[in-house]
Amino acid sequence: MKLINNPDKSQWAEILKRPVMNTENLFDTVREIIDRVRAEGDRAVLEMEAKFDKVELTSLVVTEAELKEAETLVDEKLKEAIRLAKQNIETFHAAQRFEGKKVETMPGVTCWQKAVAIEKVGLYIPGGTAPLFSTVLMLAVPAKIAGCREIVLCTPPDREGRVHPAILFAAQVAGVNRIFKAGGVQAIASMAYGTESVPKVYKIFGPGNQYVTAAKQLVSLRDVAIDMPAGPSEVEVLADETADPIFVAADLLSQAEHGVDSQAMLITTSEALQQAVKAEVERQLELLPRKEIAEKSLANSKLIVVKDMEEVLELTNEYAPEHLIVETADYMQVAERVVNAGSVFLGSLSPESAGDYASGTNHTLPTNGYAKAYSGVSLDSFIRKITFQEIRPEGMKNIGPAIEEMAANEHLDAHKNAVTVRLGKLKIEN
């Protein structure tokens, strides 16, 4: 990890650079796969599975028998953990239900909003080096609460054509309707356009590698919505001299093991903590099974000392981390001043892992500085809000002349006339 001490503000932009995920140079390759799936459906997806996931499938569908078998293969302790996490995620997201209220903007004019679920959503769950069954819960549970009619899940199978049993168990617990064996670009294309097996959805959620990210970007240009722009995962620990270096190092490494392009940052006022964390990271790293991945990720990572808490907060809000752990003596006061972050973990006993798995908050979060403009996935991600208005005679008389005046000044005479004819009729009736 790079050690940086009291950098000048002119250096901040360079210091806060992320590992680059340049998806534009993949667009031609990705578009070719998308076009094939769009044109040839299941046949193209099966061919791509053979090519990229090295598996010969006869069907993309996960069967009832496979779902039942998965339940017997998952350890009982893990089942209990998944159920507990599901319950907490459900509790937190159910509290986000929208309650629209009717507002009379002026006498005779009533406006309101109604929350309506997105009818069909697609969830992408990567296979890769770790089976992300926790992401199944993070996406499917709020989709179910929102009332999405069809929840479709795509995930790559292993070389024997099997989906990890914990993914299948979590999908059943969370209320997924249909599960398909498809990974990468072909999975995104299947959900964006539909195939003989996979239904077309209206919005696609879920993480993935740079090819999946590029595919989501391309299909979102005109054909389907996506959750948010995505880049490599990241964490920042914001700490003072009271922080425990063992905890801080553990938090940095828990992020670093995600992938070689992940980033972990410490921003602190304490040089002593910086040195202690460096030593502790090196010690704990040796004990990690995913040491090789974490080591590469740590090359993108930094331990930064600045002069005071003002600078810590300014640098943090400029970085806009996906995950932010605040480990200071006065963490509640510090947290009040955080304006750019995906999810914030307060105090020494709130590791990022809690939000990743079971506290109840969502772990699908904006990366790459997008926390300045985007929220993480929530119940709102699975709903649309439709506005309604009702104008009664009194209301038309009250706002009609203003509408006529504004329409006339925008030279939209048909707009004006739509009001004029109504006002004329109300005069006759009176």
Query: Any idea which residues carry the catalytic annotation?
Result: 322-323
Q: Quick check: 370 and 341 in contact, CB under 8 A?
A: no
d(CA 154, CA 135): 12
Q: Is 340 assigned a ligand-binding role in the annotation?
A: no
Q: Say whether 54 sits in a helix, a strand or coil.
A: coil
Buried-exposed string 123-142: b where 16+ CB fall within 10 A, e elsewhere: bbbbbeeebbbbbbbbbbbb
Find out whether 15 and 8 touch, Cβ atoms under 8 Å. Answer: no
Asked if residue 323 belongs to a known ligand binding site, the reply is yes
User: Any residues with CB less than 8 A from the CB of 228 and at least 6 apart, and which?
Assistant: 364, 366, 370, 374, 376, 377
SS3 366: coil
CA distance 201 to 194: 8
Cα–Cα nearest to 229, from 19, 383, 371? 371
How many CA atoms within 13 Å lie on the side-chain side of 318?
16
The total of other beta-carbon atoms located within 10 Å of residue 244's CB is 15
Smallest CA-to-CA distance from 161 within 129, 176, 183, 140 is with 183
Instruction: Please choose, from the candidates 152, 144, 149, the residue with its C-alpha nearest in 3D space to the C-alpha of residue 195.
Output: 152
**Residue 202 annotated as part of some ligand binding site:** no
22 among annotated binding-site residues: no
Please choose, from the candidates 342, 336, 296, the residue with its C-alpha nearest in 3D space to the C-alpha of residue 319. Answer: 342
Can you say whether the dihedral through the CA atoms of 269, 271, 272, 275 is positive or negative?
positive
Please check if 356 is assigned to a binding site. Answer: yes
DSSP state letter for 25: G
Residue 415, annotated ligand binder? Answer: yes
Residue 246, number of CB atoms within 10 A of its CB: 13
For residue 102, report the phi and psi dihedrals to the nearest 5 degrees. -75, 135
Distance CA 334, CA 280 (A): 25
**Known binding-site positions for NAD(+):** 124, 186, 209
**Known binding-site positions:** 124, 186, 209, 233, 255, 258, 323, 356, 410, 415
**Known binding-site positions for Zn(2+):** 255, 258, 356, 415
